[in-house]
Amino acid sequence: MSQKLFGTDGVRGRANAFPMTVELALALGRSVGTIFRARNGKVRVVIGKDTRLSCYMYENALIAGLCSMGVDTFMLGPLPTPAVAFITRAYRADAGIVISASHNPYYDNGIKFFSAEGFKLPDSWEQEMEALVAKGPATFEPFLPKDHEIGKNARINDADGRYIEFVKATFPRKLSLKNLKIALDCAHGAGYKVAPLVFRELDAEVFVCGNQPNGLNINDGCGALHPELVQKLVIDHKADVGIALDGDGDRVIMVDETAQVVDGDAILAICAKDMFQKGLLRNNKIVATVISNFGFIHAMRELGIDVITSSVGDRYVIQEMLKADTNLGGEPSGHIIFSDHNTTGDGLVSALQVLRIMIETGSRLSELATCFKRYPQVSINVRVASKPPLDTIAGLSLAIQAVEDALAGTGRIIVRYSGTENICRVLVEGPKRGIIQQHAEQVAKVIRDNSTTPR
């Protein structure tokens, strides 16, 4: 029986400990080579990474595994996740690989895979990879190529420039950012080189922080998870807008000119309203997640926009977008997918769409962000040692039901495990913050006391 390796966003864990070992990276490289060569014959794979110290060893292990199976590999160096998805398509590669743990601390890392079309691999392919890895090294021996068919490795030197031009092309040529002051936090991550260049080449005045990675400081008190740094930058430089990326650049949190945070729900609402009014929102539908704010959902429906909800995780948002044939979706965390432009969340593309709307409407971001009234939300993360089924945790079902009865349709409670960390998330939403705080703490206590003791 194969061991579960993949979560909602590839394989992820503490660097140099299971499952994120060099041996596993080698095996994953070999499994990708085996699967893709069986389907496509000669295979090319591009590999990008963020700025974590551990990326070097996984990069080399993946390349060794892939080349040993006859796959040609192409190194991109540090580059945002959406850039790897784009380069995979632009280079007509058979697959793309990103070495990153996104918003996690430096001591975590992960490996995720894209198809030739730039979409994350389907669950069935990941299960096939898990099965091959579980069988051990001997399972690859029948598929090893002859010595003259071993794969080659090369570096794509113009990947940064290609991606910068791609991102700039999503912004109208007739517009310019020359009258905007932008505070930019690159999270010491994968966007540290390309992000400042994008905005400067569009003529903005840019004040940058989080652009000096040392392998250990990615997401450390900066970036999308810590907008207080870009808030201060907005205040210090009297900027018109702040932009905070996460470690792999696939999501963005913005800050208005008063230093108030504008999260993914607000960004999605601003862009959905604009696209709807211009007749550009396909089928007048958008995809949000089950944790998107009630106020956001109500505001969109009042406009005439149908809101479809997905599970949490940008891959699930994209899956629902494809089913619903719509071109816009996103999450409160700042993953915003404009499928007319890219196949995954792209923090730079998302930020540019908001800046475009600001310029075209002559509005400040604080004005645009009033497009919906936000319900208070309380979210508590409970660290757990394991993830037993939630309905086996003693007293949890009763605690959740008690909250639902108390809210009586005026709010909601969502309890779920993180797909990438040993965390159980409790989210309660309702009209009165003090009350929902109590509800959330009561449910979190039940999980904290009983989560490792199945009923």
- Per-residue pLDDT band for 2 (boundaries 50, 70, 90) equals low
Assess whether 123 and 252 both reside in one domain. no
Of 42 and 444, the structure prediction assigns the larger pLDDT to 444
403 and 289 assigned to the same domain: no
Confidence of residue 377 (pLDDT cuts 50, 70, 90): confident
Residue with tokens 């974590």: 52
Cis preceding linkage at 19, omega within 30: yes
Q: Which region among 86-100, 114-128, 323-337 has the lowest average model confidence (pLDDT)?
A: 114-128
pLDDT classification of 150: cutoffs 50, 70, 90: very high
Residue 167 to residue 46: CA distance in whole angstroms: 19
Contact 193, 160 (CB under 8 A): yes
| 292 domain residue, yes or no | yes
5 inside domain: no
Distance between CA atoms of residues 56 and 17, nearest Å: 15
The residue assigned the tokens 């008690």 is: 402
Residue 230, domain member (yes or no): yes
Question: Which sequence positions are flagged as catalytic?
Answer: 102
Within-domain flag for 455: no
pLDDT at residue 452 above 70? no
Considering the chain, what percentage of its residues have pLDDT values greater than 90? 87
Q: What is the pLDDT of residues 160-179, one digit of tens each?
A: 999 999 999 999 999 999 99
What is the full DSSP assignment across 93-134? -SEEEEE--TTS-TTEEEEEEEETTSSBPPHHHHHHHHHHHH
Whether pLDDT at 453 is above 50: no
Structural domain includes residue 324: yes
| Percent of the chain's residues with pLDDT above 70 | 98
Q: Same domain for 238 and 288? A: yes
- Which of 99, 124, 157 delimits the end of a domain? 157
Sheet of strand 423-429: strand arrangement: 377-383, 423-429, 412-417
Which positions ≥6 away from 331 have C-beta within 8 Å?
251, 264, 288, 289, 291, 292, 312, 313, 314, 317, 345
Q: What is the CATH number of the domain that holds 225?
A: 3.40.120.10
The answer to whether residue 275 sits within a structural domain is yes
* Domain harbouring 435, CATH code: 3.30.310.50
Helix H or strand E encompassing 184: strand 181-185
Name the more confident of 375 and 79. Answer: 79
What are the residues whose beta carbons fall under 8 Å from the beta carbon of 450, sequence distance 6 or more? 393, 394, 395, 396
- For residue 282, being part of any structural domain is answered with yes
Which tens digit of pLDDT belongs to each residue from 35-52?
Answer: 988 887 789 999 999 999
Question: How many angstroms from the chain centroid is the CA of residue 104?
Answer: 11
Average pLDDT of the chain is 94
Contact 193, 26 (CB under 8 A): no
Q: Is the pLDDT of residue 450 over 90?
A: no
Buried b (16+ CB within 10 A) or exposed e, 304-315: ebebeebebbbb
pLDDT in tens, 3-31: 789 987 899 999 999 999 999 999 999 99
In the block, residue with structure tokens 């009165």: 432
Q: Is residue 139 a part of any domain in this protein?
A: yes
- 204 backbone dihedrals φ, ψ, rounded to 5°: -80, 155
Give the residue from 341, 371, 401 where a domain finishes.
Answer: 371
* Amino acid 451: pLDDT: 67
Indicate the number of domains in the chain. Answer: 3
407 against 283, higher pLDDT: 283
User: Where does a domain end: 140, 157, 174?
Assistant: 157
174 and 85 share one domain: no
Same domain, 359 and 390: no
Distance CA 444, CA 455 (A): 17
**Domain span holding position 200:** 163-371
Residues 273 and 132 reside in one and the same domain? no
Residues 181, 145, single domain; the answer is no
Q: What is the pLDDT of residue 454?
A: 42
> Reading across the β-sheet that carries 11-14, which strands appear in turn?
11-14, 108-115, 95-99, 43-49, 71-78, 153-155
pLDDT reading at 80 higher than 50 = yes
pLDDT of res. 123 = 84
148 with 228, same domain? Answer: no
Whether 147 shows a pLDDT value over 50: the answer reads yes
Q: How far apart are CA 211 and CA 196, in angstroms?
A: 9
Choice among 99-103, 143-147, 354-358 with the minimum mean pLDDT: 143-147
Pair 330, 267: CB distance under 8 Å: yes
| Residues 109 and 168 occupy one common structural domain | no
Q: Same domain, yes or no, for 173 and 199?
A: yes
Contact in structure between 247 and 223 (CB atoms under 8 Å):
yes
Task: Let me know whether 43 and 22 are in one domain.
Answer: yes
Q: Whole-angstrom Cα distance, residue 120 to residue 113? A: 6
- Lowest average pLDDT, out of 5-19, 96-110, 231-245, goes to 5-19
pLDDT at residue number 152 = 97
Q: Please indicate, yes or no, whether residues 336 and 410 belong to a single structural domain of this protein.
A: no
- pLDDT of res. 342: 95
Q: Dmax over Cα atoms in the chain, in whole Å?
A: 69
Report whether 296 contacts 306 (CB < 8 A).
Answer: no
Determine the pLDDT at residue 186: 98
From residue 77, give the alpha-carbon distance in Å to each of 38, 158, 309.
28, 11, 35
